[in-house]
Amino acid sequence: MSPRTLFEKVWSAHEVVPQTADTPAVLYIDLHLTHEVTTPQAYTVLRSRGLKVRRPDRTFATMDHSTPTETAQVFGGIPIKDASAARQVAQLESNCAEFGIELLNLQDPRRGIVHIVGPELGLTQPGSTIVCGDSHTSTHGAFGALAFGIGTTEVGHVLATQCLLQRKPKTHAINVHGQLGRGVTAKDLVLAIIRQVGVSGGTGSVFEFRGPTIAQLSMEERMTICNMAIEAGAKAGMIAPDETTFAYLKGRARAPSGAAWDAAVAHWRTFCTDEGAVFDQQTDIDASQLVPMITYGTHPGMSVDIDAKIPVTQGDAVFDKALSYMGLSPGQTLKGQPVQVVFLGSCTNARLSDLRAAAAVIKGRRVAAGVQFLVVPGSQSVKAQAEAEGLDQIFLAAGAEWRESGCSMCLGMNGDLVARGAYCVSTSNRNFEGRQGVGARTLLASPITAAAAAVAGCVSDPRDFLP
């Protein structure tokens, strides 16, 4: 057999029927992750057609997108304030009960953002196919899974058949070499990749992030990278599983154990790109040249080095519209730009290592007057671990808000919103117009850049605040 890429191996292992010129392939799905927002319609269709869920044992549900983050609404017996969120939560509970789907309900200590919970429980495994009704399903590719977001109609297809109709994507290697500098994080690296490739540079492709820099990253950092592959237009992002992957998974609740563990690892090791395999496209990145990054526009490709100026372009209507929305000017330096909100959260950057890094910056300092610093752990497990380490006390002593887990201000469906015209340094993944609230102005950055902004009250270089 000729050498194959990681993607090609996972794809062919799940191809039930190959694609033809006229028809897409039928792809088998190993794991279907679901949540309260993109499932109600799919269950209604199933019910109306008298269908069951084909593989309830391969379907898993959590609540995250619209769930409240205020403790009183989660544990205090106070009803969920937002009426549509309350409806979605109740509907997911009844749908899961009716169709026999395992659900982490609002008070479950394992609940959290779907892309954080899957890996935490060991549900996310190398060589598997994973889908979810959320674009950032690409996160799970950090484990060598082929993982991508699907629409509500496709959620129904997978519930009913455990399969999906798909055109085979092309392959694109993102080769990263060079040591990341002090204060330069996985978030900065992926923002730099998106800037270089472009927000549609990955269209129709699956990225494989590879090279010595990627091999040195922790699983949490790899998840941050794969999470944002979609922001360069890619179908998915993948990283070949290695010892770091296996060490992360070992002992997790849903990972294989005993003899099955050894057999699984032996199988997982086969999911790597063969020597001599050919990618459709390649991009090379020198990570040693990077500095902390921040976005200035309305898509994640509009980013600059933390101390650089916003570019000056002539006659680019899209660029001009983005800057007008953001209230910024070409040639302006973003450093020093006052901010009103800082959001540390989302499936991109709300894992324990992210909270630790931000806490190290904030420790012994105060959040600047007039700044709301919202800290939303990615899962209840992350929250509990952070509290066991005393990170919550560091944030609270600084004047930050310490919340229950959920998507929160990543998309503002639960009422955690940024006011019109306000600037928010956010560790999330999208800075589209209105993403964090009507008229909200989002500046994407790493957890330490966010923490530095919270302390200074303006966009700042995190390297000036590192211990």
Query: Where along the sequence are the contacts to ligand SF4 (CB under 6 A)?
Result: 64-65, 113-115, 134, 136, 346-347, 407, 410-411, 428-429
Shortest distance in whole angstroms from residue 351 CB to ligand SF4: 12
Q: Which is nearer to ligand SF4, 36 or 305 (CB)?
A: 36
Shortest distance in whole angstroms from residue 347 CB to ligand SF4: 3
Shortest distance in whole angstroms from residue 248 CB to ligand SF4: 19
Across 212-314, the runs of DSSP E, i.e. the strands, are: 236-238, 281-286, 293-295, 303-305
Torsion of CA 54, 56, 62, 65, to 10 degrees: 10
What tokens were used for 225? Answer: 């990278």
Shortest distance in whole angstroms from residue 147 CB to ligand SF4: 12
Using alpha carbons, select from 6, 5, 10, 429 the residue that is nearest to residue 227: 429
CA–CA separation, 3 and 277 (whole Å): 5
Q: Which is nearer to ligand SF4, 185 or 213 (CB)?
A: 185
CA–CA separation, 132 and 60 (whole Å): 10
Q: What is the C-alpha R_g of the chain? A: 21
Strands 146-149 and 163-166, by their bridges, are unpaired
CA–CA separation, 467 and 464 (whole Å): 9
Q: Which is nearer to ligand SF4, 398 or 425 (CB)?
A: 425
Q: Which is nearer to ligand SF4, 139 or 171 (CB)?
A: 139
Q: Which is nearer to ligand SF4, 201 or 345 (CB)?
A: 345
CA–CA separation, 392 and 402 (whole Å): 7
Q: Which is nearer to ligand SF4, 73 or 429 (CB)?
A: 429
Shortest distance in whole angstroms from residue 348 CB to ligand SF4: 7
Shortest distance in whole angstroms from residue 413 CB to ligand SF4: 8
Shortest distance in whole angstroms from residue 331 CB to ligand SF4: 32
Q: Which is nearer to ligand SF4, 340 or 429 (CB)?
A: 429
CA–CA separation, 450 and 448 (whole Å): 5
End-to-end CA distance of the chain: 52
24 CB-near residues (< 8 Å, 6+ apart) = 165, 166, 167
